[in-house]
Amino acid sequence: MTPTVKMLGTEEVRKLYFYQAFGKPVAMSRIISFGKCNFACPYCKRDCQFMDFAGNVIVAHDIPVSSVEDACRDAISKNQVVRFSGGDPCMFPRETLALAKFVKENGGRFSIAHNGSAPRWSVQMAELGMESAAIDIKGTRREIGTTAGIPAHTAEKMYERSIETQDLLSSMGVLVDVRTPIFAHTTLEDMLEIASDICRSGDRSKEFWTWRVYKPVRGCEWQKPDLDLITWMIDEVKKEFPEMKIGLRAKWEPKGFLFF
């Protein structure tokens, strides 16, 4: 039987703006989007809140692994960085490790976009030559259970795993883009607490922090934050952590990505 994998899509292309913070040109990434996640964020960017009881994203489809390889081959021919994304790619460890190997053997580059819950898998990906990783930290220890839709008893563990994943990867030379969603209820104290943990260890010269402005979605009551207030918060965080590289992502604004 032909091996298949549950996917959302393989055609989307996105710019990796944060490369500029490391003196590199913006890279184009090909989003290889897996259709399952171990988090259940109420605002999920891909409508993944519509899951069945097994955690499968309902809009995902079974696609032959060979078709995913074809997409990777096409991305390589276009000099795109293959980005294993989701859902969350950690839900498919065997397939992603094999695909990462395939990309490297065919002269390509690869990256992950991951919720930070799987440090060991992330390290295995790094050992195969991964060049960058977007690692989410979706709120403070207190809030991550709510923002990620995970049970309270695992929330703090997931927070620590994200920090561990960031530290392990940056220490291995991988460029790490830490990503945090910002809501109207996010406070300066929240962001200072997260900043302190991001800076605790790892190779800071390889770490970038993207603040992602929340855009309201149907079915979620949280509100969009005020951009002026966020800019002030970033300035305040920079006063305490001047070495941090910070970006602000508000993709519907005229300047969708700002560096601080």
Binding residues (CB under 6 A) for ligand SF4: these are 37, 39-41, 44-46, 48, 86-88, 115
139: left (phi over 0), alpha (psi -120 to 50) or beta: left
CA distance 178 to 156: 17
Which is nearer to ligand SF4, 86 or 225 (by Cβ)?
A: 86
CA distances from 207 to 1, 68, 112, 168, 210 (A): 43, 29, 15, 11, 10
DSSP 149: T
Which is nearer to ligand SF4, 194 or 237 (by Cβ)?
A: 194
Q: Are 8 and 60 in contact (CB under 8 A)?
A: yes
Contacts of 208 (CB under 8 A, 6+ apart): 18, 21, 22, 175, 176, 177, 178, 245, 246, 247
Cβ at position 46, least distance to ligand SF4 in Å: 6
Q: Are 72 and 99 in contact (CB under 8 A)?
A: yes
Cβ at position 180, least distance to ligand SF4 in Å: 12
- Burial (Cβ within 10 Å: 0-12, 13-18, ≥19) of residue 66: exposed
Which is nearer to ligand SF4, 134 or 237 (by Cβ)?
A: 134
Q: Are 182 and 212 in contact (CB under 8 A)?
A: yes
Cβ at position 32, least distance to ligand SF4 in Å: 14
**DSSP helix/strand/coil, 224:** coil
Q: Are 118 and 126 in contact (CB under 8 A)?
A: no
Cβ at position 166, least distance to ligand SF4 in Å: 15
Cβ at position 49, least distance to ligand SF4 in Å: 7
Cβ at position 87, least distance to ligand SF4 in Å: 5
Which is nearer to ligand SF4, 76 or 150 (by Cβ)?
A: 150
Which is nearer to ligand SF4, 18 or 39 (by Cβ)?
A: 39
Which is nearer to ligand SF4, 91 or 191 (by Cβ)?
A: 91
